[in-house]
Amino acid sequence: MRTTTSFVAGALVASVAQAQVVQWDIVKRQTASNKLTRRQGDTFTEVITNEKLRGGYFATCQVGTPAQNLTLQLDTGSSDIWVPSSSASVCEQSGDDGCTFGSFDESASTSFTVVGENEFSISYVDGSSSKGDYIAETFEIGGATLDNMTMGLGLRTDIPYGLVGVGYALNEAIVANTQSASSSYDNLPVLLQKQGLINTNAYSLWLNDLDANTGSILFGGIDTEKYQGDLTRINIYKDSSSQAFTSFTVAMTSLQAVSSSGADSLSSSAFPIPVVLDSGTTFSYLPTDLAEQVWREVGAEYYPQYGVPLLPCNMENSAGYFSFGFGGSGGPVINVTMDELVVSLADGDPYTFPSGQHSGQAACQFGLQNFSTSTYLLGDTFLRSAYVVYDLVNNEIALAPTDFNATDSNVIAFPSEGAQIPSATAAPNQAEVTQSGSLTTPTYGASGGFKDDAASAASMLLPAFDWSRIAVMGVSMSLMMVGSGFFLL
């Protein structure tokens, strides 16, 4: 069964351009959901290969002359803008199956130029892909217009909407495909800086609450009213094969479970864990040894048939939380509360656990999942709780606890190219972070508190699991898949 959830009404919020910064308001949208597919191998990719439509953060922009409106997903895990062509077969389907977020009719644009025929080809970690031409077009976001923006035109794709990748230029698909750094082009944040719209290649991301509809990306500045406490800077890791900065990988150095009954420091043989802060990924993916402790704390059960952990929906009322630490002692700490981590199964119908410790209770998905490769991702279920500043010139990321639903604004622009993140101090001990992980079993002292807090409103008359009908919200992992790396020329 395919089910469709309605789009957020009034979703397209006006953006503002201010001097030296460009703000783009982003909207959380739930796309039509797909049936959760049965896992076959032990790679996560297979679970979502069939996912045609995905969850995530979207924003509107204009492409071409005259301008065509498109709604694109914001992605820190890739570096190309691409738009689906109206002629792509995925866009020729009708109704909710088509490209409901808009597609680009290149034949209707007078500014359309092909700059690389058949040279655009991108694959994401979840197995989805887009292929076609590189084009140069007029691109407008947040009131800023860029002429001659290089982007992909998706002529053959299984994704019915485009993306705006804002990562490092060296992570562009063309660089991976040619294995040559010299083929990189000025992508969106670089061009914003070169055309003088912002001073330096940096931006801040505020996703806001799981239940809120809008967040924003602020190019060229920070907004001190959108976070609590202070921003703390940590280093971005280089890619180990190319020795270049290509992804927003940082060192996650601790994870604590905290509830009314205690606090547990969780362990992993993978600490310090290299994690990619990826806005294009819906959930967060930790090493299995760590994820299993997290699940035990909250009573989540892993369902191997579907490859996801489920837990009672009423756990969203738990006052417990997880503290993520980065960059060693004294580094930034982000607390993620349970209400940000309990995600409904998207078809709207509640399902109850048929048996086991949660028998009779409504089932939800848990936002902290596991992954088997060394690519660990902190996606939207983590990022909503953090204010994140990405500085692509100094190769640093600053983090602070978010201020949910903040309405005030105090924007500070980076003063010049290469300026450090304003109002941020460096994590004091990150130079000492070394490989030191080991797995020890926690006492699970916090576990009882997680569950006590949750209202035990169990025995509603709900249908039991009908696995053939279970649907999950659209899930994306829009981290660009890199093959064998590339060589710096």
Ligand X SMILES: *[C@@H]1O[C@H](CO)[C@@H](O)[C@H](O)[C@H]1NC(C)=O
Residues near ligand X (CB under 6 A)? 12, 42, 44, 69, 136, 148, 150, 185-186, 209, 211-212, 228, 258, 288, 292, 302, 304, 323, 333, 335, 370-372, 401, 404-405
- Do 81 and 166 contact (CB within 8 A), yes or no? no
CA distance 264 to 287: 17
Residue 46, CA distances (Å) to 38, 125, 429 in order: 8, 10, 39
- Give CA angle at 416 (415, 418), nearest 5°: 120
- Do 22 and 143 contact (CB within 8 A), yes or no? yes
We find the least distance from the C-beta atom of residue 402 to ligand X, in angstroms, to be 9
We find the least distance from the C-beta atom of residue 485 to ligand X, in angstroms, to be 23
CA distance 193 to 171: 18
We find the least distance from the C-beta atom of residue 452 to ligand X, in angstroms, to be 17
Closest CA to 72 of 159, 134, 131: 159
- Do 284 and 367 contact (CB within 8 A), yes or no? yes
We find the least distance from the C-beta atom of residue 375 to ligand X, in angstroms, to be 11
We find the least distance from the C-beta atom of residue 117 to ligand X, in angstroms, to be 15
C-beta closer to ligand X: residue 340 or 396: 340
C-beta closer to ligand X: residue 190 or 458: 190
> Token pair for residue 323?
């503290």
C-beta closer to ligand X: residue 236 or 341: 341
C-beta closer to ligand X: residue 209 or 239: 209
We find the least distance from the C-beta atom of residue 182 to ligand X, in angstroms, to be 13
Of 25, 80, 126, 278, which residue is the catalytic one? 278
- Give CA angle at 388 (385, 392), nearest 5°: 160
147 is catalytic: no
Closest CA to 411 of 279, 216, 232: 216
CA distance 185 to 446: 50
Of 75, 126, 264, 391, which residue is the catalytic one? 75
C-beta closer to ligand X: residue 340 or 414: 340
We find the least distance from the C-beta atom of residue 240 to ligand X, in angstroms, to be 21
C-beta closer to ligand X: residue 66 or 348: 66
C-beta closer to ligand X: residue 41 or 95: 41
- Do 22 and 444 contact (CB within 8 A), yes or no? no
Strands 202-206 and 163-165, how do they pair? unpaired
347 is catalytic: no
C-beta closer to ligand X: residue 68 or 352: 68
We find the least distance from the C-beta atom of residue 427 to ligand X, in angstroms, to be 16
We find the least distance from the C-beta atom of residue 419 to ligand X, in angstroms, to be 25
C-beta closer to ligand X: residue 302 or 306: 302
Interacting residues of 402 by C-beta distance below 8 A, sequence separation 6+ = 206, 207, 208, 226, 227, 228, 384, 385, 386, 387
> Token pair for residue 381?
């279920």
Residues noted as catalytic: 75, 278
